[in-house]
Amino acid sequence: MSQTILITGATDGIGLETAKVLVSLGHNVLIHGRNAIKLADVEKKLNALANANQVESYLADLSKLSEVIGLASAIKNKHNKLDVLINNAGIYKTNQPISDSGIDIRFVVNTLAPYLLTQELLPLLANTSRVVNLSSAAQATVDLDALMGKKQFNDEFNAYAQSKLAITMWSFFMAQQLGDKGPNIIAINPGSLLATKMVKEGFGMPGKDINIGSNILLRASLSDEFAKASGQYFDNDLGQFAEPHKDAVDQQKNQALINAINNVLTQKL
């Protein structure tokens, strides 16, 4: 049966490779990107694939929280159900580390934007739906002052690692809070140092087979093994569900993180 699947950051890397397979399988795929020309080109190429059903493109800069709201509104205007949301878009190396909101752009794109998008799209997500959140093997204890824009990083890798632990933490918290009433929310490390633009620009290396990452996103989106995996962490470096960073299972730290995220969103929107 054809499913409706939204992939953020679908114009290159793991997101694009995942979109190609999903389209070829006949699913309705909603792709997101921040470059209009690139997004239109990807939509055209996906529509040309065999078995292509419905491909829609949505333009938004996820470093701007108002555009995250706009993205969610555009989707809700066209759809009343979403089977899978893949929060894939992410950023590591950048020449402009501070966003328009005054917060490190890694936190905005990698943590706040997917949280806000998921919250806005909850009315479309049934308890059989899935939210697949891109975490990472790189995770570091979150400095809430940095997340709220009260201090800046001098280490871009630390900023990235904190943002990836933060998305893992809110994945666990939201899954627990929603329980059986909400979608399955799964945090996934798709694999370390894959052949993405992020790895090439950030680490100066070609990286490993990108299909390692797209294959696990496909499994998380479609396979039965993830149907009841809400609130779990899958480490694709190990090829199995695994224990996350210890902070992700600390209820007090998770609550403090959620409070900080909600305070930021209240102030910045």
Tens of pLDDT, residue by residue over 232-255, are 999 999 999 999 999 999 999 999
Residue 195 has a pLDDT of 65
Q: What is the DSSP letter of 112?
A: I
- Other C-beta atoms lying within 10 Å of the C-beta of residue 121: 20
- pLDDT tens digit string along 19-37? 999 999 999 999 999 999 9
Q: What is the mean pLDDT of residues 169-177?
A: 98
Kindly report, residue by residue over 67-100, the tens digit of the pLDDT: 999 999 999 999 999 999 999 999 998 889 999 8
CA distances from 149 to 98, 105, 144, 145 (A): 9, 10, 9, 6
pLDDT value for 202: 65
| SS3 of the chain: helix, strand, coil, percent, to 5 | 50, 15, 35
The encoded tokens of residue 148 equal 């709220």
What is the Rg, in whole angstroms, of the alpha carbon atoms belonging to the chain?
A: 17
State the number of CA atoms in the 13 A half-sphere of 194 facing the CB: 22
Write down the pLDDT at residue 135. 97
Among all chains, which residue has been given the structure tokens 């890397």? 13
> Does the pLDDT of residue 230 top 80, yes or no?
yes
Mean pLDDT of the chain: 95
Say if CB 184 and CB 178 are below 8 A apart: no
Residue 122 Cα distances to 60, 144, 174, 181, angstroms: 19, 25, 11, 10
At residue 167's C-alpha, the angle toward residues 23 and 93, to 5°, is 80
pLDDT at residue 207, rounded to an integer: 80
pLDDT digits (tens, 9 = 90+) for 181-216: 999 999 999 999 786 877 777 677 688 899 999 999
| d(C-alpha 198, C-alpha 185), whole Å | 24
